[in-house]
Amino acid sequence: MVLGLRSRLLGLAGLLLWLCVLPWAEGGKVLVMPMEGSHWLSMRKVVQELHARGHQAVVLAPELNVLIKGEDTFTLKTYSIPYTQEEFHELLFGNSGNMFETTDFLKKFLNTFTAMRNASMFFHRSCAELLYNKPLIRQLNDSSFDVVITDPVFPCGALLAKYLSIPAVFFLRAVPCDLDFEGTQCPNPSSYIPRLMTMNSDHMTFLQRVKNMLYPLGLKSICHMSYDPYASLASELFQRDVSLVDILSHGSVWLFRGDFVLDYPRPIMPNMVFIGGINCANRKPLSQVCMLPLCN
């Protein structure tokens, strides 16, 4: 009898030990707010992988879109926007031939500026339509999402995450006008970090460093046009002054689709992670390369 009791106790202890070391995992609820076009094609792979690992993903997109369609790996939830199908098509494809026109620089610049202004207005009005949709916001709030994954190149998803008080994960290549540096409070020395479209390297002459500091000033007007409306929208929602940096600072983790192999070295903060190559379908290990000084 004593031996039987001892064996049962040993069996119970073994069962408890097995339960302790068993790798339990509970899937989370993820709200995904992507950008249109190639931005979504990159993020789509992440959503599929989250589904494969047991997480529940809900993709939030405007009812008028090009590539964001429902799939078995996520639930698609759409919201109405104040545009017709014809206006949406004209916005996306109406100026597609401008880049192939052989016209003077000033005319091409003005056409590009007008197209960007219209696109910015479209995304801002669509964002306002979403955030002021009280039934939808209430439904999202009641769904108790664990995290929001979004591309902050247009910060509607970042603003939504801040409005719902949900942690945000930013999935991006870059944000214009060095807003990613400001949002992460990351050092951004102009002495060796090449600015967008300067064609500089990380080894610059004095004149190139001057260009590296002055060149972004020309983009400030475009950034003000594209991003200031979101700060105004956030200020209306929160009933206090909210800047764009406040919105982007809500990001808990920044996933950059870049790599030091492809990009120049730069300072990073602890919550900045480089995930270059995430969209490579067939990854293979690098072959062994013999460095000449090491082969001797």
pLDDT digits (tens, 9 = 90+) for 219-243: 777 788 888 999 999 999 999 999 9
pLDDT (0 to 100) of residue 281: 63
56 neighbors 30 (Cβ within 8 angstroms): yes
Residue 11 counted as domain residue: no
* Number of domains observed in the structure of the chain: 1
Tokens, residue 194: 């090449």
Range of the domain at 214: 26-280
Residue 6 lies in a domain: no
Render each residue's pLDDT in the chain as its tens digit; 296 residues: 444 544 544 443 443 333 344 444 467 899 999 988 888 988 998 999 999 999 999 999 999 888 899 999 999 999 999 888 888 877 777 665 555 566 665 676 677 677 777 788 888 999 999 999 999 999 999 999 999 999 999 899 999 999 999 999 999 988 888 889 999 999 988 888 888 777 888 888 899 888 888 877 777 777 888 889 999 999 999 999 999 999 999 999 999 988 767 778 888 899 999 888 776 666 677 676 655 444 44
Q: List, in sequence order, every residue forming a beta bridge with 133; answer none if it has no partner.
A: none
- CATH code, domain carrying 187: 3.40.50
Q: Which residues are registered as beta bridge partners of 272?
A: 254
Residue 291 lies in a domain: no
Tell me the pTM: 0.80
- Number of Cβ within a 10 Å radius of residue 27: 13
Of 220, 273, 293, 292, the closest CA to residue 46 belongs to 273
Residue 8 lies in a domain: no
Scan for tokens 């390369």, then name that residue: 289
Residue 160 falls inside a structural domain: yes
Assigned domain for 32 exists: yes
